[in-house]
Structure 1
Amino acid sequence: MPTHDDPATRATAPQGPPARRTQAERRAHAEAALIAAAARLIAEHGSTGVTLARVGEEAGFSRGLATHYFGSKAALLARLQEEALAEAMAAAAPERSGAGAAEELCRFARGVLEGVRHPTDLGRAFVVLGAEALAGTSELTTAVAELDARTRGWVADVVGQGLADGELRAGAGVGAGAGVEVGAGVDPGAGVDAGAFAFAFVGLLKGLVVQAAAAPEAFDVATATVEAERWIRLALGAA
């Protein structure tokens, strides 16, 4: 006769109801569902007509839950922007590879452009919000500018590491990073300027993503990727 310690008895014994989620887990689940719902709506319709009540309904919750969790539409959009940027950064450069500045930045560009080929709702919403901010019709114009600055800072850090490692040759005034005045004392033949390069790099990728969103049938991701990588290596003076 099997005892209570018999493995067979333990394997077939009732396991009981699943553990209840904590309040923090329930909130995180609800917030993620609300952000996903907002991304779907904005990707399809833009942000202007999207309300917190509509987001709550789209997520399958009450009309007031999005207001309860985020407080305002601007706060929800800002959070969506943060999530979209995190998704883009994770897809493009999950971690520093140690492969060198040129390869690191080429890999980032490949990830961003691959996102054009297989866009998520978050990615599509990110493009829509960026276009609205550029047109001055978004509540997130300042937030978009801050996110651009953060991305430039990351790029300048990668270039700065390449300079420190001797992989890249410094231009005049290099070392200031993302805040350096673009074009100030920079001799194109003297090497790379981290801050100036960061502005151009972010501008290149944003321009390509906008072109892809405006005319996806005419946008060749493979060609854009090859040319972006070629420009990156030329601008950095890398082989």
Structure 2
Amino acid sequence: MTQTRPLVPLDGEAPPRSANDSATTTAPKSRRTQAERVAESDRRMLEAATHLIAKNGYTQTTLEAIGVEAGYSRGLVQHRFGNKDRLLDELIKKIAADHRERLLERMRGLSGINALFCEIDCYLEGMDTPRDSSRAFFMLMQESLGPAPHIRSTFAAISARWHRALARQIENGQNAGQIRVDVDPAREAQLLIATARGLRMQAMLNPQTSDIASAIETFKDGLRARWLKPTTG
């Protein structure tokens, strides 16, 4: 039988201790501020939503299920986010922001073609065994074209920002003499995004035969062949 997490009050505070519990307490804990309780409950609800969407998809995930999974009362999700559409919008932005933060940390000191290859690594690594956030993000992207059109604009904005960032890195590579000047940055950025997302889809559709590590290297080899200046013997 599946066990659910114990519910806690709407404000996120733990239930009061019993007399027996207090007898074993060695030191009182300082009370969290309201802002800290709100931040903690929001974090747990978004994590619960990520897990359930990664497992069941958008249409099978309800606000009630998210509240229960997070360990809060069933009405807290609606009380905090208003409706499912707003929660999903916040979730998508959070996943994208977390990925960007990890990416920028790895890209520190890189530019041009090295930065571009770092982007490919960060986007595709782990797709043979994807984390909940990666799977949820990609599932929601697909569902934005079907049962969840209200989140399509959020994904479109994320894609546009990514396209601009990649095009700038290609231009940086051209300015540094790493990439041929006749390469069209905007078109190459578009093709890069399409290929990376296609590889992710293949990994999700058939993970048993997916080999992302090999696909990443093949992808990079193809980019080198198109972008780099031919060497003369």
User: Shorter-chain TM-score: which interval?
Assistant: 0.7 to 0.9
- Aligned-partner Cα distance in 1 for 2:168–2:36: 35
Cross-structure match for 1:59:
70
Matches within 5 A, 1:121-160: 121-134=132-145, 136-138=146-148, 139-160=150-171
Cross-structure match for 1:192:
183
Matches within 5 A, 1:42-191: 42-134=53-145, 136-138=146-148, 139-170=150-181, 191=182
- Aligned-partner Cα distance in 1 for 2:160–2:97: 14
More relative contact order in 1 or in 2 (CA 8 Å, sep 6+)? 2
Letter in 1 for 2:217: V
Distance verdict in 2 for CA 1:213–1:238, change over 3 Å: farther
Letter in 2 for 1:126: F
Cross-structure match for 2:16:
none
Q: Report the TM-score, using the length of structure 1 for normalisation.
A: 0.78
Q: CA deviation at 1:232?
A: 2.6
- Aligned-partner Cα distance in 1 for 2:65–2:117: 40
**Mapped pair 1:35 → 2:46:** yes
Q: Verify the 8 A CA contact 2:180 2:229 in the aligned structure 1.
A: no
Letter in 1 for 2:168: D
Letter in 2 for 1:137: P
**Mapped pair 1:230 → 2:184:** no
Q: Verify the 8 A CA contact 1:152 1:198 in the aligned structure 2.
A: yes
SS of 1:232's equivalent in the other structure is helix
Number of residue pairs matched by the alignment: 204
Q: Structure 1: which 5+ residue stretches go unaligned?
A: 1-14, 171-190
- Aligned-partner Cα distance in 2 for 1:29–1:46: 24
Q: Verify the 8 A CA contact 1:35 1:80 in the aligned structure 2.
A: yes
Q: Structure 2: which 5+ residue stretches go unaligned?
A: 1-25
Q: CA deviation at 1:93?
A: 4.4
**Mapped pair 1:203 → 2:194:** yes
Cross-structure match for 1:220:
211
Q: Verify the 8 A CA contact 1:168 1:236 in the aligned structure 2.
A: yes
- Aligned-partner Cα distance in 1 for 2:37–2:184: 47
Q: Verify the 8 A CA contact 1:102 1:232 in the aligned structure 2.
A: no
Q: Verify the 8 A CA contact 2:167 2:185 in the aligned structure 1.
A: yes
Q: CA deviation at 1:192?
A: 1.7
- Aligned-partner Cα distance in 2 for 1:97–1:213: 30
Q: Report the TM-score, using the length of structure 2 for normalisation.
A: 0.79
Q: Verify the 8 A CA contact 1:92 1:110 in the aligned structure 2.
A: no
In the TM superposition, what whole-angstrom CA distance separates every residue of 1:2-37 from its partner, at most 9, and x where no partner exists? xxxxxxxxxxxxx95333222222111111101110
In angstroms, what is the RMSD of aligned CA positions? 2.0
Letter in 1 for 2:105: P
Distance verdict in 2 for CA 1:215–1:18, change over 3 Å: same
Q: Verify the 8 A CA contact 2:202 2:210 in the aligned structure 1.
A: yes
Q: Verify the 8 A CA contact 1:163 1:169 in the aligned structure 2.
A: yes
- Aligned-partner Cα distance in 2 for 1:26–1:232: 48
Q: CA deviation at 1:44?
A: 1.1
